[in-house]
Structure formats: C-alpha cells, structure tokens
Amino acid sequence: MKFQRCVATLMMLVAVSAAATESVPLQITPIAPVRFEKRGDVLFADFGEDAYGNLQINFSSDPPTNIVTVRLGEKLGIDGTIDRQPFGSVNYREIFLRVAPGRRSYQLQIPSKKNHLGGQSIKMPEYIGEVTPFRYAEIEGAALPLDSSGLRQLFVHAPFDDEASQFESSDETLNAVWALCKHTMKATTAFGVYIDGERERTPYEADAYINLLSHYACDLDSHLAHETIEYLLAHPTWPTEWSLHVPMLVAADYRATGDLMFAVTNYEALKKKLLWDKARADGLLDATAIVDWPASERDGYDDGKLAPNDNRQVGPKINTVVNAFYFHALQEMATLARALKKENEARDFETNAAQVYDSFNRVFFDATRGVYIDGEGSTHASLHANMFPLAFGLVPTKHLRTVADFVESRGMACSVYGAQYLLEALFIAGRSDAAIQLMTSHSERSWWHMMELGSTMTTEAWDVEFKKNLTWNHAWGAAPANIISRFVLGVRPIQPGYSEILIAPQLGTLKWARGQVPTPLGPLTVKAMNGDVFRLEVNVPPNSKAHIEIPRRAAGQVILDGKPIAATVRDQTLTIDFLEAGSHVIESR
C-alpha cells in the first residue's frame, strides 16, 4: 500500500507540474521485476527491459545498516552480475543510499553524469529529477528486509499508446526486431524531445528524422516531433545533410498528420535549411558530406580521402550524397509550398530539383559500370553514393537494375543510420527479399546482434568494434519500425493525414504478415498471405480511401470481396483504385 501511495503522489506532482514546465508532460510507469534473486550478499533484480528512470525501494522493516549500495546497469558480465566496466557508453551507475530509522520508502538521488554535452544536453524537469537508463539492479545486503514486491523500476516516458500499433509475421526474428524497435520508440521519449542517446542527450536532425518515422509508425502522437523540430531550428547542428533533413522532417510530419501549421510558422526558416548559397551554376551543391557515422561506416567513400581543412567530413566537395539529399529536400519543400498555396515558389523548388536531377546523372553516373561514383573527380563507387539516389528517386528507369544490383551486392555496408535509406532503396527497387534478409540477419551487423549482445533498445552502432563509445539506447537504430509499417505492411499516406492511403505490402520471403498502423482517422489493419494465391485483408479507417497494390499471380485474376474485378497491371503488380473505407478481402490468383 505504501508503494502505491508513493507512486500516486508522484503522479499527482507530475500532473500538476507538467503544464507549467513542459510542453510534453512525462509519465511514470512502475515496472515490477521479472526476476528477483538472492545471490550471496546481493539482491538482484531484472526488470525485463532497459528504460530511462529511477528505482523505487520499499523496505518491509528498518534496514540493519545506514548505507545501502545500489548498482544499476544495462549490461551483464559473463558471470551474470551487472557489468561494472561495460564497453563504450553502455550505462553503469553505483549509488549509495542513506537510510534513516522509521523511513521505509526511497527513490535514488541520481547524480548527473559529467560526460553529457554540458549546457547542450537536454535536462530533466525538476518534477521528475535525474534519470538513468537501466534494466538490472543490484542491492548489497542479503539481510535487507526487501523482496521483489518492494522494488520497482520507475519508467519515465511521454504519453504512448501501446495498443496503437501491432506487427506479427511468419519470421520470429522479424517479430523480435519489431518489438525491439517499438520499445525503443517508447523508452527514448523520456526527455520530451527526440534525443540521440544517453551519452549526449541532445537532438540531431538525422536522428530525429528516423525517430519521427518510427515513432509515428508505432504511435502517431506529434507532440515530441514538433518539440524536436522547434528545438533543432533554434539549435542546429553542423553536418550538411543534417540541415537538409529539416524540410524532410516537416514534410513527413505533414503527410502523417495532415497538420500544416508547423510548416506555416516555420516556412522561411525551412527554406534556409536548403543551403541554396552553396549551389553552383549547374544546381549541384558545393559542400562536403558526413556521408555516414561513424567514419568507418562509409564503405570506402572516395577511397577514404578527407576534405581539405575539415577532418570531420570527407570529400569531394561536389559529391553524390549531399546532392541526393539536396534533391530530396527540394522536392519536400515543393510539397510544403504547394500545400501553402505558394505556387510560384513550389515551381521554383521543382525547377531546381529538375536541374539537380539532370546534373546529378550527368556528373555522377558512370555508364561503363552502371553505378554512381562518390563525387566529381572520384573513381570510387560506394554503397552510399548509390543507395541515397535510389531511395530518393534520382535513378532513371533505364539504370534501376544496375544500381539496385550494386546496392544489394554491398549488403549492410553502412551504419545503423544508413540502414534507414538502404532498406528504403531496396524496397523502392522491388528488392523486398534482400531487404527482409537484412532485417532478419543474425550477422554481426544486424538488429538480432543488438539483442544477442543483451540490449533491449536499439544501439548506436552495430557493435563496439564499429564505434568505441556506442550507447545501448539510440533511437536512430530503430529504422525497422517504420520500414516494416511502410513497406512490409506497405501502408503510406497518399494524401496528408491519410485521407487517401497506399496499401502495397511487400512480403518478400515471408509467408504471412499482419499488423496495425495508426492514422489520424483511426487504426488501419492489414493481413497478407503470401502463397500461390496472394490474399490481402484490410480494414480501411472511416473518411479514407485506399489505393491497393498487390503482386500479380499466374492467372492474373483479382477477386475483391468475393467478386472478380478488373485491375490495372504494371509490371508484376496489380492496382486497385480507390477502395472505400471498411473491411475488404482482395485475392490475386
């Protein structure tokens, strides 16, 4: 009872304080241990999943000591105890709890870490206090009057609807990857904005874009996304492509929510993010790229040459990666301008994008090899120089096969950040088998390996050998959450706010998949069976229409709700326009 009263009091304080101090009110969910053991002189608790929060301790009687040692951590050592010297920036904290006679209930006073980015790191509001990410707790003193009922992980997070999204398929690895990414989306909301991880606790544009896509795939709540975009407009970071991500962020938010007010209030600021002043006469930006992060994940970009006077970035100055992002950002700004009835500016953006498209293919495409080189003057062709143009629609139809072949041949030769665009590129090119193979791989460069290491949130890099200071709580590694929703289930908005919806499942090698995707109009459910007959069951939300794309089977016959219908044939795809709201069954035979 004391435990419930303590949590109830804390929740009341949160409710009272949130409106005054935070645009996104935070919540505290008490989590009971899934495992509690007495190990000699130590009490050990496993809470099942890593989370940002605090530890609640309720003793059943006065402890026989004045000081209790508490250890919190994300990783276990080989002996099954909390690793006190974990690699990278994997979290471990040791805290000394002073206890007093007659007082039975405690929360830890967690000191701030010195290695956060000083004044740039996001601070917790006072009504919550400092938090730390942990899954495991150890408390010294087997004689302590404490059992599992007296321990709770106080999981801090923004409002999150756990029932808004679902996914299950015939592949258990893919199901586990989805669960890993979905938990990451909830657990990394603890700061009211999208942060990059525990080491720095600060927003970055590229991190935020992947975070937004995956958050919206799991729970379509725009508050954190809007807070993050506002923060990034006031606190921009340095990489060239990160600036170009900002129009992408706002356009993705507009498509998902149908809310244009954010674009209205920030339109002029968004235009500046295009870096127009760096464009030369042929439309291409003259700017070095970060390409990927860490630097070891650039697939030998430009043979590893450094840009002049900038050891953080790589050359050449007129390069494929920056200009692929520039093309895409111009297109996104055209979308926003047209939605705002700024027709002249929309045409200007589209004209510039068309010029970049032509110059891009003239300057960067190597017709002999059928691939894109890394930049003007380079002879090297990296995965990045090809996956970004493939993902952003820069590859002419006549070159799609050779570029997609090259991208597929490189495998996961990129970071967890680059994986977002690699997977998009493969699905867009119709290489769903290859994309799903990467998401279900058990190799060192995989989401399965993150779980194999012991993490229950996505990690900053594939492993410590690729990034020495990696964290185990980095949302930019959670690309499969949005990729599964947008491409495996195939649900994407055609019109902002999902008034018109594309449902184009790409199951690849999966026998079946089913799931639920949140939209502003209500949940959309999809169940697809992948056999000699491709069967699709959908429930389209009210006030919406669905555009269906399914694979063509041998007979070329389409059955809609029990009746044969005509469908448009494109390559090996059958298209139905536009399906009314409600439940429908479509079969391709």
Q: Is the pLDDT of residue 1 over 70?
A: no
The per-residue pLDDT of the chain, averaged, comes to 93
Owner of token pair 């006031």: 234
Of 445, 463, 488, the last residue of a domain is: 488
| Cβ contact 170:202 at 8 Å | no
Three-point CA angle 65, 69, 70, nearest 5°: 130
493 belongs to a structural domain: no
190 and 149 fall within a common domain: no
CATH number, domain at 556?
A: 2.60.420.10
54 and 115 fall within a common domain: yes
Query: Domain range spanning residue 470?
Result: 166-488
Q: Is the pLDDT of residue 387 over 80?
A: yes
176 belongs to a structural domain: yes
- At 100-124, the pLDDT tens digits run 999 999 999 999 876 556 667 999 9
482 and 511 fall within a common domain: no
| Cβ contact 275:244 at 8 Å | yes
- At 490-502, the pLDDT tens digits run 999 999 999 999 9
pLDDT at 260: 94
pLDDT at 146: 96
Can you spell out the DSSP letters for 224-250?
HHHHHHHHHHHS--S-HHHHHHHHHHH
| Cβ contact 124:22 at 8 Å | no
| Cβ contact 76:83 at 8 Å | yes
pTM tops 0.75, yes or no: yes
- At 311-344, the pLDDT tens digits run 666 778 899 999 999 999 999 999 999 999 999 9
- At 430-450, the pLDDT tens digits run 999 999 999 999 999 999 999
- At 19-60, the pLDDT tens digits run 323 589 999 999 999 999 999 999 999 999 999 999 999 999
292 and 414 fall within a common domain: yes
Of 460, 488, 516, the last residue of a domain is: 488
Strands 524-530 and 534-540: antiparallel
196 and 305 fall within a common domain: yes
3-state secondary structure (DSSP) of residue 45: strand
Pick the more confident residue, 171 or 554: 171
As for how many domains the chain has, the answer is 3
CA pair distance 227, 191, nearest whole angstrom: 11
283 and 373 fall within a common domain: yes
221 and 135 fall within a common domain: no
402 and 308 fall within a common domain: yes
- At 517-532, the pLDDT tens digits run 999 999 999 999 999 9
443 and 547 fall within a common domain: no
Nearest Cα neighbor of 385 from 332, 326, 324 is 324
